Chain A
């Protein structure tokens, strides 16, 4: 029991008591436990890097940097390269960002700039939130049975009429970049919309008022004042949306066709790092697992860099807008 420096007041019947020894013990252990929790997050991240890096090490020392620049994936000969996979990852994510980013930003403007009566805004907001809640596999299933049949005639018409344009240089036989990209765009739309909306809402009301005061129309105010002011936040929304697209797995594994090709054509099948892992890992032997671990490490590093960039930009711009140095 801890000593009470005010024992003079501890007369019989006094209510006030110092904390008991148990109180202090609980206090100290609880706070240490909370510290352990916080440290665990840091340790987890470090452990993930260590574990995936360690598993990838044999492959790294075997294939070196050539792994990133060659195209063969041949388990029998033990030859592995992921150039087409990196291409497929970046190409599909960029295309998805182009579409999802445009839609997401427009929706963010639409929902945050008083276009709608509150009730209708609530309905649209709920729709976007529900979109975010649909599991990736369900989007994949929907892509197989709805998106592919729907775009196939259009895609093949485009190929027949404009086949000389590199983007339409192949026909869509089933799974391929186009359906994968469309579904990917839908999946990153809520992320882009939510973060952009936060950024737009952060712009002080007086800034908007000033624009209207100068006689700007609503859209002039939005495009020339609101969006530029929120540009940092919107940019980070795009970066984080891109990061999400890079790592998206199931829908892509189901829709992209998993083919080791590099093509500009939107209708050609392709492969991404995540879809490679999803489709090859379960049946891989030890040699291939090493190579897949290397691929996982590449995916980990790419997404880490993209996410850290996105979060960094977000923090800097938020600080600038809220006026703190």
Chain B
């Protein structure tokens, strides 16, 4: 699959609609298989992402948690050889249906990456980027301020909006990226280990921010840090690695309320992971 699909004509989307998932599910992700070329990266992962909640993806490295997250807004399409079998339903549409353009998907489902990645332009322009991209007609200044406040960055940067986004500290850069992502008010926010490059204090700030944001946004969060999952995630999905077929294939081991996953895991593997027997 390439990322160059163009949007189809007005083919009726109804035909491919989901078998109506529960109303409180924002993204219903039913991955059967994800391949990179011939390599089976993920199998059998049904991960419904609940509306207005934070869903944490945890698991050892190589378990495919980032791959699954990045398939929710079709960022994986950029990787040659990527192929997904299964369905990802969002607003009654299969994101992988042939008439869906990944570019549109990414406008509705925002993303915050592992490494802070502001553009080399001013703080203001970074936040206004998405607004301009969506040809926003209203008052740009208000929206930029609102987004920066939302990302708890306004007080630190309000006097230097013209300064380069790259001049900020790592933690500030990550909050700038969050501001940039929320400025266009996407429906869902994907966060791929957003704190892994940050120091503990900056990490706490971003975690605080996530808790504030979940009133308005559905958040899916990949984290390598189990404490972080217990602190912010309402629901946790634990992924494991299956090495039985010779390769390293990730799969969903279990998913549930964070409290349940950490206190009474159903699966032996989850128990071992949470006890820190492997990572």
Contacts and interface: CB of A to CB of B under 8 A. Distances in A.
Interface of A: 2-6, 8-9, 14-20, 24, 28
B91 A8 contact: yes
Contacts of B135: 17, 20
B272 to A, nearest CB: 37
Contact of A6 (B9, B99, B104): B104
Contact of A28 (B6, B92, B184, B186): B6
Of A14, A15, A24, the most chain B CB neighbours within 10 A belong to A15
Given A6-B91, A8-B91, A16 B7 contact: no
Contact of B93 (A5, A20, A24): A5
Interface residues of B, number: 29
Given A2-B7, A3-B10, A28-B6, A19 B136 contact: no
B90 A6 contact: yes
A21 to B, nearest CB: 10
Interface of B: 6-11, 13, 90-93, 97, 99-101, 103-104, 107-108, 131, 134-136, 143, 183-187
A5 B185 contact: no
B199 to A, nearest CB: 31
A3 B9 contact: yes
B108 A9 contact: yes
B196 to A, nearest CB: 28
Q: Is the interface of B mostly helix, strand, loop or mixed?
A: loop
Contact of A15 (B8, B10, B92, B136): B136
A2 B5 CA distance: 13
B184 A3 contact: no
Contact of B7 (A3, A14, A15): A3
A4 B108 CA distance: 11
A14 B8 CA distance: 23
Contacts of A8: 91-92
B90 A15 contact: no
B103 A19 contact: yes
B264 to A, nearest CB: 37
A16 B10 contact: no
A24 B8 CA distance: 12
Contacts of B101: 2, 18-19
A5 B6 contact: no
Contacts of B99: 3, 5
5 contacts: A6-B90, A15-B183, A19-B104, A20-B135, A24-B7
Given A3-B9, A5-B100, A24-B7, A16 B185 contact: yes
